Structure 1
Amino acid sequence: MLLRVIVLALSVWSEDPVCKLWGKPDIPLLSKSGDFMLGGIFTLHNNIIASKPTLNLNYKEYQFAETMIFAIEQINNRTDILPNVLLGYKIYDACGTISLAIKAAMALMSGAGEAQSSTLPCSQQSSIHTIIGHSASSPTIVFMYCVELCIFSFSQISHFATCACLSNRKEFPTFFRTIPSDYYQSRALAQLVKHFGWTWVGTIRSDNDYGNSGMATFIEVAQKEGICIEYSEVIYRTNPREKFLKTVDVIKMASSKTIVAFAIFIDLEFLMKELLLQNVTGLQWVGSESWVSAKNVATKENYRIFKGAIGFSLANAAIPGTPGNAGLIKLWEDMFDCSFNTSHSKTCTGLENLQQINNLYTDVSELRITYNVYKAVYAVAHALHDLPSCQDNQESCMAKQKDILPLQYLKKVNFSANNGDYVNFDINGDPPARYELVNWQLSVNGIIEFIPKSVCSESCRLGTRKATQKGKPVCCFDCLPCAEGEIIHCLKCPLEYRANEEKDQCILKDIEFLSYDEIMGMMLVIFALLGASLTSVVTVVFFKFRDTPIVKANNSELSFLLLFSLTLCFLCSLTFIGEPTQWSCMLRHTAFGITFVLCISCVLGKTIVVLMAFRATMPGSNIMKCFGPTQQRLSVLTFTLIQTLICIIWLVKYPPFPQKNVNSNKEIIILECEMGSTVAFYIVLGYIGLLSVMCFVLAFLARKLPDNFNEAKFITFSMLVFCSVWITFIPSYISSPGKYTVAVEVFAILASSFGLLLCIFIPKCYIILLKPDKNSKKHLMGKVQAKSKYIIENNA
């Protein structure tokens, strides 16, 4: 900004001040006059001594310069592009330093050496308004800042400056390039590393805009992808050897086996020398396009270090025709190890055969970057060709180009190159990003090496999850088993699903309920039908011998009603087996509650009759008449109606319903009947328990009645079995899982029903069928004949 203010001030101070050169202007290394001049800046020599280029020639950059000359000559010989305009060029050598690159750029921008005298008006513009180059990002950035500060009307088209920062149109409005921005390459490299599962890597970068910007983007994207950086080393060609040795030590001590190198090949060469000396091999290198496809790096010696190296490169291309320029004396002398000076031991004749030389200059099989120079020259030519003035006549075109290069026409450039590649620029002056994936492999014997792993911790297998190790990066972790019902890396399955054995997908849980098809269900069905059948047999026996004393003595009406209720108890257990439905859930508990109350009411009625008959002080007492057959029927009806009313209220207000229990067991779904109202269920059970306790107490009080009339003893035993079953049922019911809960309930129903049937009726059937002589009034009356006679007669 200060420089811009000074320039403006000088322009105000004098309308046409005179500028003087402070030193001798640099002369371009290669030049040719023309109607429209193109500037070029390339690193034709790699190093400098005392600010002068040494004989360390850069063959690749010479190839860039020759390609620029070849493209210009090719355009000049064409009639379809700029037919009336002759293109010229001035090419300077940057010698691999920023200072000389800026010096060359300033010479091109200022037009130094173009005037005939040592003084010229400061308002005079240079004949060059477009520069091809530079190959590096840092010199290009400095040069573009100079253009902005010095208010020069210049544009630059780079073939190899890839720093993403150059896409900033506010800072670099006149910059274009024919190579994609590292914005894309850095992200592509991160995706490549992720693809191979390398989550633990080291990084190396050149200490310049190219390396720093590219690596910063790579690290940002890599960390988002879950890739951890173990170390990040910086290299530069001018660093002392100690720094390169320190970098080598870091690489050797690191546990990561993959290195991402975003570096210029010249910087990497110094590191390669130290790696070769210390034989640091067995690492997987991932490289940027600057070195991974450079043939001067991919030597057989370097292959020991970079075996299997992988990275992105620009698409290869072929340029038709081979440029030849016998005027490159230094290049010619260096290639053939001769001299045009006769004092040298070997004199150059100029007739040496280039086909016998194999170096980067003569190698036309890898023209990835070289082709970008070719496209840059053609981009300028097409922009000029689109100028209406250049299509009219030569004079107007030359006058136009002396004012300013038409940037708007460069922005609109869109043409097809020789290989079908379309050349155009986006709003940032960048071309479309297209890369090729390259991999270093020896073709001898066709042996392919597996790429090594580079992880801090092995990937967690399915069914386990990551647990970060304390104090270490996220890439270092332990693998902990997932909980039940979780898959892959502990993703929870939906409630109705479970994890398969491989822990890679959720599958539907098995549905469990007490089924007729399984052995347990079949056994319970058999016992239920057996109980109902046995009860029916007893009923037939009692009906057939209904006129005998033992049947009459046991109150035949209550006996038949009890047998009927027992049959219903056996059959109601079947509603508990099979898949629960809305109707079966409502039926099973209400039917069970009502039938068992009917059963217990009958037993209670029989117990009360026996107790009253033998506890009355006189056989003809009124107390016996207070509980005659009518009262017995009413008592049974009343007790049963109370339970029926409870069940009706339960079904109306909170009816039971089927539900899938997914919480009791993580592996299966238990299909069960939800009570609807737990309170109602407990009231039903409580009422049955109350009647059972009453019946047991009364039977217990009558247990010592005369032996010949042992109805009270049978009732006592039956109620003892009944209560024992249901007392043990409660803890078993609560602790049993899944379908076994229902099985326990069915077992309790069957066991208590069998207890009542066997204890009350089987002894009587034994007497009726096997001991008919005891089925008489005389035997039954025995002791206390009056009371026994009353019972028999009143229950006949």
Structure 2
Amino acid sequence: MASLADKVEEINNSSELLPNLTLGYHIYDSLNNPIFIFQHALNIISGMKTLIPNYRCETSGTLAAIIEGLHAEESSHIFDILRIYHYPQISFKSQNLFMSDALKFPYFYRTVPSELHLCAGILRLLKHFDWTWVGILASEGDGSARAVQILKEGIEQNDGCIEFIETFPQTVLIPTEKKDIISDIIHSSSASVIIIYCNREYIGNMYWDMDIPGIVWITTAEWDFPSTYSQVSGMKNNTLAFTIAKKNIPTILKFIQEVNSTLFPRNVFTKSWWKGLCNSQCPQSIRRSCSTDELSNSHCIFKYFGSSYSIYNAVYALAHALHGLVMSDSAQNITWSKESQEVSDYLPWKLHHHLKSVHFKNILGEEIFFDENGDSSIGYEIINMVYLPNYTQRNEIVGSYNPYVLSGQDFIINEKAIVWESAFTQVPPRSKCSQSCPPGFMKLARKDMPVCCYDCIPCTDGEISSQSDMDNCIKCPEDNWSNQNRDACILKAKTFLSYEDPLGISLTLISTFFCFISALILGIFIKYRHTPIVKANNRSLSYILLISLMLCFLCSLIFIGRPDKLTCILRQIAFGITFSISLSSILAKTITVVIAFQATKPKSKLRNWMGSSLSNSIVLCCSLLQVLLCLVWLCTSPPFPYHNTESEIGTIVIECSEGSIIAFYCALGYLGFLTGISFTVAFLSRNLPDSFNEAKYITFSMVVFCSVWISFIPTYLSTKGKYMVAVEIFAILASSAGLLGCIFIPKCYIILLRPEKNSKRNLTRHLKT
């Protein structure tokens, strides 16, 4: 009330603001009683002490507006009366969030922030500290219920959860039964952050449980506890409170010291307020001398004298609006006197327009205005209640929230200024249902639990999570793979069967060795080309077969090394053609054996087919057919290098794709066809009386050849990467070595170690048999 009187007197003495008008005021104390509130509202409107509705007796000037400091519910009730007469209602205390609705409360203004902004500020604080697991205690009532709903929705939108919501009655003393229930909930809770949402008149209900260590309390009002506390109370440095900004108005100190207290209403509350100025806690500049030692709880414990800053803004906002109205063109012809009925009818209607557009700088240089809902541009301060070792309390401002300032500056928090209790193992404290999942892990929600309660499971191979608390792992690109920690994608290692690889070295040595053996046998056959064993079965076919086998051994080397376009083409083409020559030569040798035996019979017509022309024709025709298939293959869809990202985990296998699968299987099928014919003919002629068992050797070589390639198929399909190539090379080497060993080693044995059998007489004796 002192602040109100001071500001009215200051405006009346101003030569710039309302220079030709004098403001007056009436102060009523509601005593927090709804009956008195209703009575005073009618008194203000009628101008009489008797309650006569719809009657106005202007005995002390024209009523411009109501400036009130009622609680949220009472402020709403008095609006229902004032709205009938369209009087502006400016509150310097009510933060009722329901009244931030210009449609339902068109004539309501306030110089304190709305609880909508309070909820937003709490959500920003929770998000800043990453507190996602909280509990809420709230007083009963529609306003608190709506605020809790807003908090709940905001927390869930920020991926947070509420462990419990518990309400308590709006009474001075909470019932014991309810207190025990709340106490049990708090002690059994795993949340480290609890929000207490209630008016400051009821926040003392929670005082008994504030000494629980390891819990951060977020309150919506500064506690009205004395600045000293007892040792047994055990209060902790664990409370952050959102409070309306209390700022020092420079002139209020001088006014309180000099003003005569008899100018104010005479009641027990006013008397107690003035006695409070005798308290030693008050600054020396305003402390008054009193004739009694009886002191009340001093209001000087509040650093800036309670609501004086909000009252200042309310009075000056109304004054600026009145000034704008008086100076407007539409009001130039009005006689501004208290007896003017025109003023009484005109003032309430037009004042709203100027209140909505009022914009001025207060004595502290701050911009003051009302938004579209009548809410002021004032924000909240965040204070940290610090309890010192000498049993005194100090409230430190550690942050602020004001949605009306520039983005990025609307929420400020100074973590270094916050004093945390020693029970917190981590500063700032953490409050999560589950610990954060580090990079490389993802969250898996627990069954029948809130979404912020989860387990951390590692990402699978090929997937990563580069940030903490990711809901899903991200799959790496095809040419990338997850690193060991699964928090980053790295390029896959490229692999192929190289000459530096131990397996590649081994296969190269084996291939070279057998190629050398083939060349050695070829040399032996050339040296002993005039001997019967070499001449007996068409030595030109033997040369062709040995040369083709040498090429088969050498073509396996093309499968080793980094595949490129040329090598991929040569692999399959060289393999197909050289093996077709080898199998064609074996087929021709088998047919030559059969013809040679049949030609020894009297009057045999097969004598005309004896000679090298038939065998050479067989080799040439069978080989040319395979060459034709390969040419078609190259012209349609030739083999090409391919980066296989699927066959091996974490690596890219550089391999050759066959291109046309149909052409590939036609080439293989043709080799199988030649193998089948050669095996059939050799098997049927295995018992012919050949001098050197040529048919039996060919039959046995075909058995080895078929066994190798039949076993190759399942083995090839069951391996991956470079081992598939190794299996193919092994099949080439094994089948070629089988042909070489079964057909030529017995002949070399006779040539080199049993030369007595390498004679024409021995050959003739077997043929006669």
Is 2:249 aligned against 1:319?
yes
Compare 473-482 and 570-579 and name the one that shifted more: 473-482
Alpha-carbon offset, residue 741 of structure 1: 1.5
Question: Which residue does 1:287 correspond to in 2?
Answer: 219
- Residues of 1 paired with 2:182 and 2:594: CA distance? 107
Match of 2:672 among 689, 695, 698: 689
- Secondary structure of the 1:87 match is coil
Matched with 1:207 is 140
Q: Which amino acid aligns with 1:396?
A: W
Aligned partners of 1:282 and 1:305 also within 8 Å: no
Contact 1:255 1:456 in 2 (8 A): yes
Report matched runs for 1:564-583 at 5 Å.
564-583=547-566
Distance 1:761 1:369 in 2: 114
* Aligned residues of 1:157 and 1:177 also touching (Cα < 8 A): yes
In the alignment, what sits opposite 2:300?
362
Alignment match, 2:151 = 218
Q: Is 1:560 paired with 2:548?
A: no
Tell me how far 1:632 sits from its aligned partner: 1.2
**How far did residue 75 of structure 1 move?**
2.8
1:599 CA displacement: 1.2
Shift of 1:725: 1.5
Does the 8 Å contact 1:646/1:680 carry over to 2?
yes
CA gap of 1:316–1:337, structure 2 versus 1, over 3 A, is closer
* 1:577 partner letter: I
User: Structure 1 residues 363, 692: CA separation in 2 closer, same or farther (over 3 Å shift)?
Assistant: same
| 2:414 match | none
Are 2:179 and 1:241 aligned?
Answer: no
Measured in 2, the distance between the counterparts of 1:283 and 1:298 equals: 22
Stretch deviating more after TM superposition (559-568 or 655-664): 655-664
Q: How far off its partner does 1:352 sit? A: 4.6
State the alpha-carbon separation in 2 of the partners of residues 119 and 464 from structure 1. 74
> Which residue number in structure 2 is paired with residue 729 of structure 1?
712
Classify 1:416/1:111 alpha carbon distance in 2 versus 1 (closer, same or farther; 3 Å). same
* CA offsets 1:370-406 (integer angstroms, 9 cap, x no match): 4222222221222222234489899638668643242
Please say if residues 598 and 604 of structure 2, whose CA atoms lie closer than 8 Å, have aligned partners that are also in contact. Answer: no
**Map of 1:249-288 to 2, 5 A cutoff?**
249-272=184-207, 274-275=208-209, 280-288=212-220
The aligned counterpart of 2:79 is 144
Alpha-carbon offset, residue 265 of structure 1:
1.7
Q: Which residue of 2 aligns with 1:71?
A: 7
**Matched AA of 1:251:** I
Q: Distance in 2 between matches of 1:123 and 1:310?
A: 48
SS of residue matched to 1:423: strand
Aligned CA distance change for structure 1 residues 596 and 98 (closer, same or farther; 3 Å): farther
Is 1:747 aligned to 2:683, yes or no? no
Q: Distance in 2 between matches of 1:120 and 1:701?
A: 130
User: Does the 8 Å contact 1:696/1:720 carry over to 2?
Assistant: yes
Are 1:606 and 2:551 counterparts? no
Mapped partners of 2:303, 2:279: distance in 1: 24
Q: How far does residue 170 in structure 1 lie from its aligned partner after superposition?
A: 0.7
Q: Is the 8 A contact 2:276 2:300 kept in 1?
A: no
Please name the residue that 1:371 is paired with: 309
1:378 to 1:663, Cα distance in 2 relative to 1, 3 A: same
Q: In structure 2, what is the Cα distance between the partners aligned to 1:506 and 1:457? A: 27
Kindly indicate whether the alpha-carbon contact (under 8 Å) linking 1:265 and 1:297 is maintained by their aligned counterparts in 2.
no
> Is 2:47 the counterpart of 1:111?
yes
How many residues align structurally? 701
2:423 matched to 1:493?
no
Using the aligned pairs only, state the percent identity: 37
Match of 1:86 in 2: 22
Distance 1:584 1:612, change over 3 A: same
* Deviation of the 1:600 alpha carbon: 0.9
Q: Contact 1:180–1:433 at 8 Å: present in 2 too?
A: yes
Q: Would you say 1:781 and 2:763 are equivalent positions?
A: yes
Deviations 1:257-278 (A, max 9, x none): 3211111121111231x436xx
Q: String of CA shifts for 1:421-466, please: whole Å, max 9, x gaps.
A: 2111221122346444433445669775435544444445555554
Q: Distance in 2 between matches of 1:239 and 1:745?
A: 89
CA 1:369 to 1:462, structure 2 compared with 1: closer, same or farther past 3 Å?
A: farther
In structure 2, the residue corresponding to 1:428 is in which secondary structure? coil
Q: Quickly say closer, same or farther: Cα 1:368–1:93, change in 2 above 3 A.
A: closer
TM-score (norm 2): 0.80
Q: CA deviation at 1:748?
A: 0.8
Return the match for 1:190 from 117, 120, 123: 123
- Separation in 1, partners of 2:641, 2:337: 92
Q: Quickly say closer, same or farther: Cα 1:387–1:430, change in 2 above 3 A.
A: same
When structure 1 is superposed on structure 2, of 360-369 and 202-211 the one drifting more is 360-369
Q: Residue 335 of structure 2 contacts residue 343 of structure 2 at CA under 8 Å; is this kept in 1?
A: no
Report if the CA contact (8 A) 1:201-1:230 is conserved: yes
Please report how far the alpha carbon of residue 500 of structure 1 lies from its aligned counterpart in structure 2 after TM superposition: 2.7
* Aligned partner of 1:410 among 351, 355, 360: 355
Q: Distance in 1 between matches of 2:355 and 2:567?
A: 84
1:558–1:602: 8 Å Cα contact kept in structure 2? yes
The alpha carbon displacement at 1:728 in A equals: 1.5
Cross-structure match for 2:273: 331
**Cα distance in 1 between the residues matched to 2:215 and 2:140:** 22
For structure 1, the 5+ residue unaligned runs are 1-64, 339-348, 788-796
Superposed CA deviations along residues 354-377 of structure 1, whole A, max 9, x for unmatched, are: 9x9997633563568542222222
- Give distance in 2, aligned partners of 1:155 and 1:585: 90
Partner of 2:403: none
| Most deviating of 154-163 and 666-675 | 666-675
Aligned counterparts, 1:422-501, within 5 A = 422-432=367-377, 434-442=379-387, 449=422, 450=424, 452-460=429-437, 462-480=439-457, 482-488=459-465, 489-494=471-476, 496=478, 497-501=480-484
Contact 2:643–2:654, Cα closer than 8 Å, also in 1: yes
Q: Which amino acid aligns with 1:275?
A: D
1:745 CA drift (Å): 1.0
Letter of the structure 2 residue corresponding to residue 387 of structure 1: L
Match of 1:58 in 2: none
**Aligned match of 1:396:** 336
State whether structure 2 residue 692 is matched by structure 1 residue 709: yes
Asked whether the 8 Å contact 2:704–2:738 carries over to 1, the reply is yes
Q: Is the 8 A contact 1:200 1:230 kept in 2?
A: yes
CA offsets, 1:449-506, max 9 Å, x none? 4355444444455555545444444444455555443333442404514333323333
User: SS at the partner of 1:226?
Assistant: coil
Q: Which moved more, 1:242-251 or 1:444-453?
A: 444-453
**Contact 1:511/1:668, CA 8 A, preserved across alignment:** yes
Whether the 8 Å CA contact 1:656–1:673 is kept in 2: the answer is: yes
Q: Secondary structure at the match of 1:598?
A: helix
Counterpart position of 1:7: none
SS at match of 2:26: strand
Deviations 1:735-766 (A, max 9, x none): 11222122111111122222223433445456
Q: Which residue matches 1:521?
A: 504
Asked if the contact 2:131–2:431 (Cα under 8 Å) also holds between the matched residues in 1, the reply is yes
Aligned to 2:395: none
> In structure 2, what residue type is equivalent to 1:229?
I
Give the drift of 1:296: 5.2
| Distance change in 2, residues 1:759/1:232 (3 Å) | same
> Structure 2: which amino acid aligns with 1:145?
D
Deviation at 1:733, TM superposition (A): 0.7
Contact residue 42 and residue 51 of structure 2 kept, 8 A: no
Q: What is the CA distance between 1:220 and its match in structure 2?
A: 1.7
Tell me the secondary structure at the aligned position of residue 162 of structure 1. coil
SS in structure 1 at match of 2:65: strand
Structure 1 counterpart of 2:299, which letter?
Y
